[in-house]
Chains A and B, each alone.
Chain A
Amino acid sequence: MATALQACLLLGVFIPLASFVFLAFFGSKLGGAARRHEHAHHENSHGHAEHGHPAAAAPGEPLAGWVATAAIAASLILALIATFIWAGGDGESRRAWSEQAAHGAALWTNLGSVPIHFGVNLDSLTVITFLMVTICSTCIHVFSVGYMAGDPRFARFFCFLSLFCFSMLGLVIARSLLFLFIFWELVGVCSYFLIGFWFEKKSASNAAIKAFVVNRVGDFGFVIGLGLCLVYLGTLSLDSAPAVFEAGARAAGWSSTELSAAAAAVPAEQAAHAARLFTTLLWGVPLATWLGIGLFCGAIGKSAQFPLQVWLPDAMEGPTPVSALIHAATMVAAGVYLVARVFLLLTPGAQMFIAVVGCITLTMAALIAIVQTDIKRVLAYSTLSQLGYMVFGLGVGAWVGALYHLLTHAFFKALLFLGSGQVIAGCHHEQDLRKMGGLASKMPNTAIAFLIAVLAISGAGLPWLNVGLGGYFSKDEILAVAFYRHFNADKPAAEHAAGERAAGDVAALGSGVPVLLAANESAHAAQSHGDDPQAGHAAARPAPHAAPPVSRVPAALFWLPIVIAYVTPFYMGRCFILAFLGRPRDEHIHAHARETPIMYRPLLVLAGLTVVSSIPVFLFRPFVAHAAPGHAPLVPAISGDDHALHAAHQWLPAIVGFAWVVGLGSAWLLYRNGLALAERIRRAPVVHLLHHVLWNKFYFDHVYGFVLVGGTKVVAVICRLFDNWVIDGVINNAAYVFERLARFSGVVLDNRGVDGAVNGLGGGLWSLGGLLRRFQTGLARNYILLAALGVCALVVAVLSGGQASWALALFVAAAAALLTPWEQVRRGLMGER
């Protein structure tokens, strides 16, 4: 079974790669004959292609699209098979399969003494994320066949999509951090290709470069984290690294909890080495925390968290299916996935850092989303905000909640983006919400699907009845954990401890999540309850697997997400109402709007999946809950199943349960008659200022532009001034002195009739100039001579032994002679100009 599972997943990864290779070579030869002149025409006027006139069939259309779709659909089928197999196994056999997969991993290479294995990291999270990615990608592929119709680079688009899917799926199954990093970079480069797909547009190619560069900033941190792992933990494997980390923490006296079996098996020497992570301080912070923060930096870049969030809205320049693929299913999810995977390598400090970053992001992005008028940018900022929720969830320890939110979010955000893609394509590439309105009558299917997604992201549901959509469960689980960590964390939780740990006991989150575990999960639930970190009773009770103390989170980290839970439905409602309801604001657009079956059918599929993923007892959440780190020694990992959360239940639904009603209602009040009312409010004195700040995205781009770009410019200017004044000054003055000297000698000495001396001096200077000029002759043979001179310098260095500094000086002098602009010197010597 383990073999079958691995085969399914590996095949699923490599089929898109095969499709990529095939399309790269033969993509443009598929389908009808490529019409060269059409191609040239499209290159010139891209707008023509964007309007999707079906007249001109691009090379490879539509067969290339269907090849890529077939590849990802095959992956989807394999993912489904894997999911069925996995769901069929009980806790024990699943563990056996994971271990079999771990043992079967092939040795790829040895980095020094650290072996790097290539294999499938087989657990519930891998399986379910794999399924999610393949489902979303398949829908997006089908959608793209319609959306990209008529594009001159149709085949290349699907080529990149296939490569992207390969990279993302590889990232999901990677069992070594190194492989994760490799696929991570592949994903990055694919996003570069895809965002800049319409590179004729300056803004698109700029956005691609921006995304790539900003991601490099984050990856820098990631590499530092990897380096720390490699050096101190001596392993990059995702399952042995946490064990070594735990053993190191124990050896350094950081945790007093019972060691897990894997950690106990770590050799004492390695543990002592790892302990240095905790005892070595850098700027007053232990290296272990830096390790967590470094790895998280990668996620900051990829998941566009504060302060690297600037690339994501600009990435909207890419084709809309790309936005969906990058923002919903895959790339931004990669950051959250990474943090989830390295969750056990975090220290409380790093975790607090993550929570703060997530909280800032979710707040800021939601506020900016209120004022955006471009439909895709609204969605981009809502993505930022939702990602902020996930990161924040991981930061406060809601591992299960964050990843469940990742899954539900992937479906409804893909739906939103594809819906907006349908709107944009149907409205002749009009993206401005102010020109839409009343589209529901023209695009009924799109409108319904979009409405479902809006309700899901708003967290619509009926509190205490346990009926809701998407975000209703997943977001609330994150908020419940935050609530718990704010109000209950420092209370002694002993009263929760013993009795509530009974097997099969059912947790009920106040606002939802009734029976979180399917029946066949109950055995595992019992075991996981035994492991679950609960509250600060570690010191009080010397229980096995006692949990780390749960620290109290500051009020802001609790109240800001709550407030934003009200803002989210507002801006999503605004977006929906402006686009689909009300009177049409642009008759021309409204008159020509239409929807296409190939585009809205994937929407309906995704809408169905949004509903399905909202059932907390079916498939998605149980899988995530099963993968939750049962034994987290350093940081709290709190799941919605924990009884400690009971205390949070009474109040949370009262606080946020009806946020969606309030948010959507206020959006309805404000925008049902178009933009007039909102415009009046915007003009109000204080609001005006606020709007200005939000409209400029808190001035992040300005600040970055000023500080980074401007800083570079300042440095460049300083360099130029130095070059102009100092270097040129020295050269020119020297030249002037020599020239005067030569003239003086020429005039004075010649007058006295000492011709020999004059000619000697003049000739000497002349031949000096000639000699120096020869360094820049552009003749190969002279360069060969220079190389030989270099060898001579090396020989001198070898022979002089102890006095190598002389040889070095000689060499430096030779290098300097090569680098000096002799042409200028010669002109100075010759007295020319």
Chain B
Amino acid sequence: MFDIGLTHYLVVSIVVFCLGVAVMATKRNAIGILLGAELVLNAAALNFVAFGRYRVPGLDGQLAAVFVIVLAAAETALALAIFLNFYANHATIDVDQGASLKG
């Protein structure tokens, strides 16, 4: 109970991951979906660091997390640019309005 190990972190990471998936699946606001993606990415990064701490000695886990953070930042910037563009065209960021490519 008080001996914190890999499993504890894994559980936290999994729960946050699933919450992120749920956020992505329920929000209609595009920025809400982006928040879900951030949750998922954070969960993944936490996983990396936890494994790096407890199972794979060295800096591999931390560096993987660094790259995850970098990619997440890039992804946010790009996604927000897309949303602004979307907003300029549709005057809303309700993703349900973006289904015009639906077959």
CB contact under 8 A between A784 and B25, given known A779-B95, A779-B96: yes
Nearest chain B CB to A663 CB, angstrom units: 64
Q: Does A780 belong to the interface (CB within 8 Å)?
A: yes
B21 touches A784 (CB 8 A): yes
Chain A residue contacts of B28, Cβ below 8 A: 781
Q: Indicate which residue in B25, B95, B103 contacts A785 across the interface (CB closer than 8 Å).
A: B25
Contact-residue bracket for chain A: 10 to 19
CA distance A780 to B28 in the complex (A): 10
Q: Does B89 belong to the interface (CB within 8 Å)?
A: no
Chain A 746-782, CB-CB to B under 8 Å as 1, else 0, gives: 0000000000000000000000000000001111111
Contact-residue bracket for chain B: 10 to 19
CA distance A340 to B101 in the complex (A): 55
Q: Indicate which residue in A776, A780, A781, A788 contacts B103 across the interface (CB closer than 8 Å).
A: A776
Q: Indicate which residue in B24, B100, B101 contacts A781 across the interface (CB closer than 8 Å).
A: B24
Chain A residue contacts of B95, Cβ below 8 A: 779-781
A788 touches B25 (CB 8 A): yes
Measured CB to CB, the nearest residue on chain A to B99 is A778
Q: Does B53 belong to the interface (CB within 8 Å)?
A: no
Nearest chain A CB to B61 CB, angstrom units: 22
Chain B residue contacts of A776, Cβ below 8 A: 102-103
Chain B residue contacts of A777, Cβ below 8 A: 99, 102
Chain A residue contacts of B21, Cβ below 8 A: 784-785, 788
Nearest chain B CB to A794 CB, angstrom units: 14
B101 touches A784 (CB 8 A): no
Chain B residue contacts of A782, Cβ below 8 A: 25
A784 touches B102 (CB 8 A): no
Chain A residue contacts of B100, Cβ below 8 A: 778
Nearest chain A CB to B14 CB, angstrom units: 11
Chain B residue contacts of A780, Cβ below 8 A: 24, 33, 95, 98
A776, A780, A785: which has the most chain B beta carbons within 10 Å? A780
**Chain B positions 1-60 with a Cβ under 8 Å from a chain A Cβ:** 21, 24-28, 33
A784 touches B103 (CB 8 A): no
Measured CB to CB, the nearest residue on chain A to B96 is A779
Chain A residue contacts of B26, Cβ below 8 A: 781
Nearest chain B CB to A770 CB, angstrom units: 15
Chain B 74-101, CB-CB to A under 8 Å as 1, else 0, gives: 0000000000000000000001101111
B99 touches A781 (CB 8 A): no
A784 touches B96 (CB 8 A): no
CA distance A732 to B58 in the complex (A): 61
Chain A residue contacts of B102, Cβ below 8 A: 776-778
CA distance A781 to B99 in the complex (A): 11
Nearest chain B CB to A302 CB, angstrom units: 42
Nearest chain A CB to B86 CB, angstrom units: 12
CA distance A776 to B101 in the complex (A): 11
Chain B residue contacts of A778, Cβ below 8 A: 98-103
Nearest chain B CB to A820 CB, angstrom units: 13
CA distance A778 to B26 in the complex (A): 14
Chain B residue contacts of A784, Cβ below 8 A: 21, 24-25
CA distance A516 to B60 in the complex (A): 69
Chain A residue contacts of B33, Cβ below 8 A: 780-781
CA distance A784 to B33 in the complex (A): 10
CA distance A778 to B99 in the complex (A): 5
Chain B residue contacts of A788, Cβ below 8 A: 21, 25
Chain A residue contacts of B25, Cβ below 8 A: 781-782, 784-785, 788
Nearest chain A CB to B4 CB, angstrom units: 25
Measured CB to CB, the nearest residue on chain B to A781 is B25
CA distance A785 to B25 in the complex (A): 6
Nearest chain B CB to A777 CB, angstrom units: 7
Measured CB to CB, the nearest residue on chain A to B103 is A776
CA distance A601 to B23 in the complex (A): 75
Nearest chain B CB to A15 CB, angstrom units: 40
Nearest chain B CB to A821 CB, angstrom units: 10
Chain A residue contacts of B98, Cβ below 8 A: 778, 780
CA distance A785 to B33 in the complex (A): 12
CA distance A370 to B76 in the complex (A): 69
Nearest chain A CB to B43 CB, angstrom units: 13
A779 touches B24 (CB 8 A): no
B21, B25, B101, B102: which has the most chain A beta carbons within 10 Å? B25
Measured CB to CB, the nearest residue on chain A to B36 is A784
Nearest chain B CB to A624 CB, angstrom units: 57
Nearest chain B CB to A645 CB, angstrom units: 70
Chain B residue contacts of A779, Cβ below 8 A: 95-96, 99
* Chain B interface residues toward A at CB < 8 A: 21, 24-28, 33, 95-96, 98-103
Q: Which 7 A-B pairs have CB atoms at the shortest separation, nearest pair first?
A: A778-B102, A778-B99, A784-B24, A785-B25, A781-B25, A788-B21, A784-B25
Enumerate 14 A-B pairs (CB-CB under 8 Å) in ascending A order: A776-B102, A777-B99, A777-B102, A778-B99, A778-B103, A779-B95, A780-B33, A780-B98, A781-B25, A781-B28, A781-B33, A784-B24, A784-B25, A788-B25
In addition to A781-B25, A781-B33, 5 A-B residue pairs with Cβ atoms within 8 Å of each other are A778-B98, A778-B102, A781-B24, A781-B27, A781-B95
